[in-house]
Amino acid sequence: MATTSTTPTPLPLPSSSISTPAQSSTTQSSTFTFPTYTHFPPLYTVQPNLQTRARQLDLWSSLILSYTAHHHIFRLSLSTPPADLFTNPPRTRTLKPSDIRIVLDHMALQTPSRIEWLPPSTKGEKMGNTCWVYWKTLAEWADVLYGWVEETGQKGAVLTVYELREGDAVMGREWVGMDEGMLRKVLGVLVKRGKAQVFGQQEGEGVKFF
């Protein structure tokens, strides 16, 4: 009964299990309810006290993950962040882009990683300002994808990456809209597990599931 948990509370992730297409399409259209702490003005100022800041970054991390999961956002860009995510409802406080970077850097260092920076698109820049958001971790995505393969009896079949991303068979599936690069990473996880094999050239690349 009395289990003392010293570990911090796990981040409240939305729908950890595989949601059906019907569910995901309805949640997509409904409005996202922001947690009450988004009304708290200091949330938008990076806290000077490190202990407090750690807590603040966790709150942001959980907010960003549930927001992106709700809206099916796979990629965040610092230059065009979602308008309502980093500004509080009365629009008096905004998390500055440099502070957003602090939050995202924190998420990149979480285990497992919750975001991944993409290399800068223009050569001159040192830091990229776009990242993939893993509201499901790569391992979780791998489970979802493999679950679908099993469910639809396609083990042993060869599918193209294009089919996995945009084919009719995957319509309404959760990963639709995912960047090709991110999907490749998910496939990479499955390859490592010995559950898939990727072959062929960039164009017309094929994946075989075991």
Partner 1 sequence: MASSRRGVGLNAFSNAAISSDQYARHGAALRSTHADALANQLSVFQAALHNFSLTHAKDIRSNPTFRAEFARMCNAIGVDPLAGSNVKGAAGAGGKSVWAKMLGSSVNDFYFELAVRVVEVCRETRSENGGMIALSEVRKRIEKGRGLVGGGMEVTDDDIERALESLEPLGGMFKTTTLGSNKFIRSVPKELNPDQSTVLEVIQILGHVTVSMLQDNLGWEGARAIAVIDDLVADSLVWVDSQAEETEYWSPASMHEGG
Of the candidate spans 35-43, 76-84, 132-140, 183-191, the one that interacts with partner 1 by CB under 8 A turns out to be: 35-43
Among 4, 30, 33, 79, binds partner 1 (CB under 8 A): 4
* Rounded Cα–Cα distance for residues 210 and 158 (Å): 10
Residue 4 or 79 having the CB closest to partner 1: 4
Note whether 90 binds partner 1 by CB under 8 A: no
Locate 51 and state its tokens: 């202990």
Of the candidate spans 3-11, 112-120, 123-131, 180-188, the one that interacts with partner 1 by CB under 8 A turns out to be: 3-11
Cα dihedral 129, 133, 138, 143 sign: negative
Q: 139-158: which residues touch partner 1 (CB under 8 A)? A: none
Residue 71 or 93 having the CB closest to partner 1: 93
b/e string for 48-58 if b means 16 or more Cβ within 10 A?
Answer: eeeeeeeebbb
Note whether 55 binds partner 1 by CB under 8 A: yes
* Rounded Cα–Cα distance for residues 186 and 178 (Å): 10
* Rounded Cα–Cα distance for residues 135 and 76 (Å): 12
Note whether 97 binds partner 1 by CB under 8 A: no
Residue 7 or 30 having the CB closest to partner 1: 7
Indicate the DSSP class of residue 176: T
Of the candidates 36, 78, 74, the residue with the CA atom closest to the CA atom of residue 180: 74
Total residues in contact with partner 1, by rule CB under 8 A:
27
